[in-house]
Amino acid sequence: MTTALVWLRRDLRLLDQPALHAAAERHQRVLPVYIHAPEEEAPWAPGAASRWWLHHALAALGEALARLGSPLVIRRGPSLETLRALVLETGASAIYWTRVYEPAAIARDQAVKEALRADGLSAESFNAALLFEPWQLKTGAGEPYRVFTPFWRNAAAQLDGLPPPLPAPVRLTGPEPALKSLPLAALDLLPKIAWDAGFHARWTPGEAGALARLRAFVAEPIRRYRDQRDLPAQPVTSALSPHLHFGELSPRTALAAARDAGREAGPGWLASAEHFVRELGWREFSHHLLFHYPHTAEQPMYAKFAPFPWREPADYAGDLSAWQHGRTGIPIVDAGMRQLWTTGWMHNRVRMIVASLLSKNLLIPWQEGARWFWDALVDASLPQNTLGWQWSAGCGADAAPYFRIFNPVLQGEKFDGDGAYTRRWVPEIAKLPEQYLHRPWEAPSEIRRAASLGPDSIYAKPIVDLGASRDRALAAYARIKRA
């Protein structure tokens, strides 16, 4: 009887899992293994929110695999050494895994594959995280894309040719005798202090939670996605990003569900569903960019932005802390940062608003924001985090033009006009009338008193003058442009 190892990383599911599918189809015994080696992902080892999610995702997957007959084995240590040890313990002749695309993981996986093959083993990797491999789509000149629209035009034309999602295995047989496994608690992924109550209230990590959220989204909210996805108070976004990042849901499964729902419901729904599919395209684009331009996780896409005149850390430390903790005195920004702190997630429109304020109005390096998001987001994806921050800072591929500086007051009034989102996350200004909610410093003193806003409130004056800071940012970008 032949045995295969399935090395799990960010593919924590049974449905449409090509490495698991291949192992179950080709071998009599299958051993699913998770190897905890965060140091191999440096300098982008998972942050605190991601570790919380990973713990619960592994617990859910472990239960699902145990029901199929081959429990998950958890080990810790260097991946190659651990895989070799498992080969000796099981007599496995093959190791299968699905690809991850961050620079450190690519280098590690290539070295592991070469070493295992040199040992005489079969070592094979599969695409499970993307609709298209990052190297598949090229410009007419054979170059990587740097602009989303032509990238997505090429990708969208090929969507109908994608294979359908693979079925989940119905039964697995593990090695005998059963192997020793570390208890999940030994990985020390959960917080030492209980800051995660809001996470538990908001999320259900694991494949079952992912599929339930997908079903709920395509049942009705997707109909309103096109028209209301920019409104943070409206529950119409899919919130599938952490499930996609940890591989509890494949993009092919999400694509199929969205398009099936659209076709069944009619033209209006289908058009809205295609807007959601386009957002899957942005996820693809972010992976495409980081694969071809790995330096962008730390540096701007274009070298001309490297000398941008950011403020010095000693000068901006207080402003950075105020931004991180939702105490800027700008309601929509503070609402977003508090939502992030409480739930590990933030609405996409608000992500753009808070990023613009940090990088442009405050002139704080975008890397500071990227690092904070990396630690605080449950959906912290290096490709998407990098693309989003470089877009906001105006220094990356398909970036927002440097002269586009969001005015957070106008953004709040446009996308949270009645204040439902802001009042929820910034309750100390909930009593303000709508006309002053996004500019509380303009409210007359009697209205501020009625709303219990004293003179010492952070909403007496924002930490930055939005007009003057906009002019300062435009001048800095203009100098870079001239250079």
**Do 105 and 217 reside in the same domain of the chain?**
no
Contact 30, 23 (CB under 8 A): yes
Last residue of a domain, one of 129, 147, 182: 129
For residue 70, the domain's CATH number is 3.40.50.620
Residue 266 belongs to a domain:
yes
Strands 94-98 and 122-126: parallel
pLDDT of residue 265: 66
Residue 218 belongs to a domain:
yes
**Do 87 and 103 reside in the same domain of the chain?**
yes
Identify the residue with better confidence: 187 or 271: 187
Residue 433 belongs to a domain:
yes
Contact 438, 332 (CB under 8 A): yes
Q: How many residues does the structure list for the chain?
A: 483
**Do 308 and 273 reside in the same domain of the chain?**
no
| Mean pLDDT value across residues 301-327 | 95
Active-site residues, by number, are: 279, 282, 310, 348, 366, 389
**Do 26 and 115 reside in the same domain of the chain?**
yes
**Do 344 and 451 reside in the same domain of the chain?**
yes
Contact 252, 132 (CB under 8 A): no
Nearest alpha carbon to residue 110 among 119, 99, 122, 121: 99
| Mean pLDDT value across residues 47-57 | 98
Is the omega angle on the peptide bond into residue 408 within 30 degrees of 0, that is, cis? no
**Do 351 and 287 reside in the same domain of the chain?**
no
| Mean pLDDT value across residues 132-160 | 96
Q: How confident is the model at residue 403 (pLDDT cuts 50, 70, 90)?
A: confident
Q: What is the pLDDT of residues 98-108, one digit of tens each?
A: 999 999 999 99
- Asked if residue 400 has pLDDT above 70, the reply is no
Residue 146 belongs to a domain:
yes
Global pTM?
Answer: 0.96
Domain count of the chain?
3
Last residue of a domain, one of 264, 292, 320: 292
Residue 476 belongs to a domain:
yes
**Do 240 and 346 reside in the same domain of the chain?**
no
| Mean pLDDT value across residues 84-98 | 98
**Do 138 and 7 reside in the same domain of the chain?**
no
**Do 220 and 354 reside in the same domain of the chain?**
no
Domain span including residue 151: 130-164+205-292
pLDDT of residue 238: 97
For residue 136, the domain's CATH number is 1.25.40.80
For residue 417, the domain's CATH number is 1.10.579.10
**Do 344 and 263 reside in the same domain of the chain?**
no
Residue 330 belongs to a domain:
yes
Residue 376 belongs to a domain:
yes
Residue 195 belongs to a domain:
no
**Do 271 and 310 reside in the same domain of the chain?**
no
**Do 452 and 473 reside in the same domain of the chain?**
yes
